[in-house]
Amino acid sequence: MIIGVASEPMQCIYITYVKCGMMKKDWYQKALEKPITPENLRDALIECYMSVHHCAFKKQVVPKEAIILQIKNVFRTVGADFDHPTKKDLENVVEEMRHTLCAIIDGKDVETHYKQMKDLIKRL
Which range, of 6-20, 24-38, 66-80, averages the lowest pLDDT? 6-20
Other beta carbons less than 10 A from residue 111's beta carbon: 13
Which is more confident, 3 or 47? 47
Predicted TM-score (pTM) of this structure: 0.76
State the pLDDT at residue 63.
Answer: 84
Classify residue 31 as exposed, middle or buried by CB count within 10 Å of its CB (0-12, 13-18, 19+). buried
pLDDT tens digits, residue range 61-116? 778 898 899 999 999 999 999 999 999 999 999 999 999 888 887 777 788 889 99
Assess whether pLDDT exceeds 70 at residue 10: no
Q: Are 73 and 5 contacting, i.e. CB atoms less than 8 angstroms apart?
A: no
Q: Are 14 and 66 contacting, i.e. CB atoms less than 8 angstroms apart?
A: no
Residues 112, 90, 15: CA angle, nearest 5 degrees: 60
Using the CB atoms, write b or e for 84-102: b if 16+ within 10 Å. Answer: ebeeebbbbbbeebbeebe
State the pLDDT at residue 59.
Answer: 63
Rounded Cα–Cα distance for residues 74 and 47 (Å):
15
Domain range list for the chain: 2-122
